[in-house]
Structure 1
Amino acid sequence: MTRILLTGATGGLGSEVLKYILPLVSPSDLVVASPTPARVREAWPNLPAEVEIREGDYTRPETLPGALAGIDVFFILSYPSIAHEVRVRAHKNAIDAAKAANVKRVIYTSIAFGEGVADVMKPHIDTEKLLRDSGIEYTIIREGLYIEAFPFYLGTLCWSSRTLPAAADELAGFFDSSRDTDVYVPGDGPVSWVDRAEVGEATAHIVAKGLFINETVLLSGSSNNVLTLAQLTEHCSSVLNRSINFHVVSEDEYVEHYSGTAAQPPRDPAFVRSWATAYIAIERGECAILTPVLEELLGRPPRGIKEYVTELVSVTEGALAQYAK
């Protein structure tokens, strides 16, 4: 019997991993850890009773020995913080606890940027090194950019620290057919977009079947799903039947646009400049690398991204809130 500990089961990716791993393993072999176990029960009212739910929080190391007791495989979903040091410290806590608990294998979710241009990638690079140096068997999953998040890359939100209702309002504004929209980005290039649900499904197979031991694996889309931000904007414009104007501007102009006095609301300039580095990476082609792994794990071609975007821009304002999470 191999006991598997999953984290993030109430979030976007983690919930998909749990959904798709349930048919692959015995429920008695699954343990779910959460900072708030009651939330797991609320989110999963029909979860098999054999699945054990434990308290476990990367930011509270004292909770991790109990969460990891008797665990063979530990799925570490990346900690949701934009602060580099906070994120790496949380991951280090999890890896150190896994080593102390004699966990045999750790699977970590990284992202599909290259080696250090994008600030958002840097905590993942640090975590990947910690994991490789830990002496534990590992699998690092670099996930392609989620198509669900494309409005963020078109500048509508810029991953600010605003509340979810405000985020949903702004996303709804982007899709508001009564007005034009201008998109400003500091760089553009091809992106191999992926569907988060399909990444979760593929990840479940990796976790359950012990695949890619001591390897870094890339889950990226197919060649049909490689689109630039300009092409995505053009597609949205066509679906919405209105003009969306796409502008590639300098980094300084980008920062001024989203943090200056005219911005509604203005964001922190340091954060906007940091986020701009993601576009440098995109422009360099870091997010356009193709591999067949996702399709092989799914056993079918990945979902068509243009069709997915068409569905997304047609949903109601209430449904948009889930994409701001």
Structure 2
Amino acid sequence: MIVVTGATGRLGSQVVERLLSRIPADQVGVSVRDVARAAALAGRGVRVRQGDFTEPQSLKHAFEGATSALIISAGIRGHEAAVSANRAAADAACAAGVERILYTSHQACSPSSLFAPMSVHAATEEHLAGLGTPFVSLRNGFYASTLGFYLPEALATGRFTVPDDGPVSWTAHADLAEAAAVALTRPEAFDGVTPPLVADRTWTFEQVAAELSAMLGREITRVVATDEQWRDAAVERGMPPQAADFTLGFFRAARRGEFDVVDPALPTVLDRPTTPLRTTLEAVGGLD
């Protein structure tokens, strides 16, 4: 059996769908915090069990009988809390006898990254490497859907007003979900830390603005704000200060080139080109 954590989330739900197109439903299990949200999966024959990274005992039951497990990184703010949650999931998988663990890491994984989640991934990868259980760390590209946070302002005002940035390998959830499903069902596809699983090109916000302009038939201008200007404006609009600081870490890391990576690994495992950024912009911007 293959067990997927976070199976009602944006990535996990798509991984499960791709698994169900490859293997029978009774070979798929999910670990979710709220089993009611996975009722439709249970109705299709998927094994649904409650599991919470902050409650390790629940995870032992969720992973029971699994030969492989996909641990989707905990969406928890704070380095220690997030690392502790990911470690708890990995330890529970091992305790349940899981023979192969897959983890959703990031292409910019590094303890010295300027973007906070990257150090969480680095610490989790280090823990996985010390467990003695075969593992795959999926070095996923930056989720292209993140651009959806910035589109409303751009569409309403005609301006992308964000801090100075750098090229980012914006990558579609659908592509990463398919790659995870391949990795779960074809063990020979990946072993250990994967190459960067990223789209076939990178984009700056200026280039995204130009793409949007071409899509809409009207100009979207990229405006550079200082970090302080952007933070003050974001907080004034209602963003919590901690969230604003978190987001600034992304821009600082992008400026340093942490997300400026292109690699053939993802299109190779997909056996097709990666999803164009325009497709994601249409979806998250309500333009399709």
Do both share a fold (TM > 0.5)? yes
In structure 2, the partner of 1:34 is: 32
Q: Which amino acid aligns with 2:271?
A: G
2:192 to 196, 214, 217: 214
What is the CA–CA distance in structure 1 between the aligned matches of 2:242 and 2:50, rounded to whole Å? 35
Deviation string 1:172-216 (CA, Å, 9 cap, x unpaired) is: 55534xxx2443323211122211112101110001111322233
What is the CA–CA distance in structure 2 between the aligned matches of 1:84 and 1:184, rounded to whole Å? 29
What is the CA–CA distance in structure 1 between the aligned matches of 2:226 and 2:233, rounded to whole Å? 10
**TM-score, normalised by the number of residues in structure 1:** 0.80
What is the CA–CA distance in structure 2 between the aligned matches of 1:134 and 1:92, rounded to whole Å? 10
In structure 1, the partner of 2:49 is: 54
- Gap runs ≥5 in structure 2: none
- Gap runs ≥5 in structure 1: 157-170, 317-325
Note if 1:275 corresponds to 2:247.
yes
In structure 2, the partner of 1:253 is: 229
Please state whether the residue corresponding to 1:129 is helix, strand or coil.
Answer: helix
What is the CA–CA distance in structure 2 between the aligned matches of 1:46 and 1:232, rounded to whole Å? 41
Aligned ranges 1:162-311 → 2 under 5 Å = 172=152, 174-176=154-156, 180-210=157-187, 211-223=189-201, 226-259=202-235, 263-265=236-238, 267-310=239-282
Note if 1:101 corresponds to 2:96.
yes
After the TM superposition, list the runs of 4 or more consecutive aligned residues in structure 1 that deviate by more than 6 angstroms.
Answer: none
Change (3 A) 1:133 1:67: same
Aligned ranges 1:116-127 → 2 under 5 Å = 116-127=113-124
Percent of pairs with identical residues: 29
Contact 1:109–1:142 (CA under 8 A) maintained in structure 2:
yes
Deviation string 1:90-134 (CA, Å, 9 cap, x unpaired) is: 111111112222221110001222422211322122211111122
What is the CA–CA distance in structure 2 between the aligned matches of 1:312 and 1:300, rounded to whole Å? 22
Q: CA deviation at 1:274?
A: 3.0
Note if 1:313 corresponds to 2:260.
no
In structure 2, the partner of 1:134 is: 131
Q: Which amino acid aligns with 2:262?
A: L
Q: Which amino acid aligns with 1:72?
A: T
Change (3 A) 1:65 1:310: closer
Deviation string 1:245-274 (CA, Å, 9 cap, x unpaired) is: 322233223322322xxx222x33343223
Change (3 A) 1:80 1:91: same
What is the CA–CA distance in structure 1 between the aligned matches of 2:35 and 2:70, rounded to whole Å? 17
Aligned ranges 1:53-72 → 2 under 5 Å = 53-72=48-67
Please state whether the residue corresponding to 2:60 is helix, strand or coil.
Answer: helix
In structure 1, the partner of 2:81 is: 86
Q: Which amino acid aligns with 2:94?
A: K
What is the CA–CA distance in structure 1 between the aligned matches of 2:174 and 2:134, rounded to whole Å? 26
**TM-score, normalised by the number of residues in structure 2:** 0.89
Q: CA deviation at 1:314?
A: 4.2
What is the CA–CA distance in structure 1 between the aligned matches of 2:158 and 2:81, rounded to whole Å? 35
Q: CA deviation at 1:84?
A: 2.3
Q: CA deviation at 1:301?
A: 1.0
Deviation string 1:125-145 (CA, Å, 9 cap, x unpaired) is: 221111112221110012112
Q: Which amino acid aligns with 1:188?
A: D
Q: Which amino acid aligns with 1:192?
A: S
Q: Which amino acid aligns with 1:215?
A: V
What is the CA–CA distance in structure 2 between the aligned matches of 1:151 and 1:277, rounded to whole Å? 18
Change (3 A) 1:31 1:151: closer
Contact 1:113–1:281 (CA under 8 A) maintained in structure 2:
no
What is the CA–CA distance in structure 1 between the aligned matches of 2:214 and 2:144, rounded to whole Å? 17
Q: Which amino acid aligns with 2:132?
A: G
Q: CA deviation at 1:29?
A: 2.1
What is the CA–CA distance in structure 1 between the aligned matches of 2:247 and 2:145, rounded to whole Å? 18
Q: CA deviation at 1:311?
A: 5.1
The alignment of Structure 1 onto Structure 2 pairs a total of residues equal to 285
What is the CA–CA distance in structure 2 between the aligned matches of 1:251 and 1:277, rounded to whole Å? 10
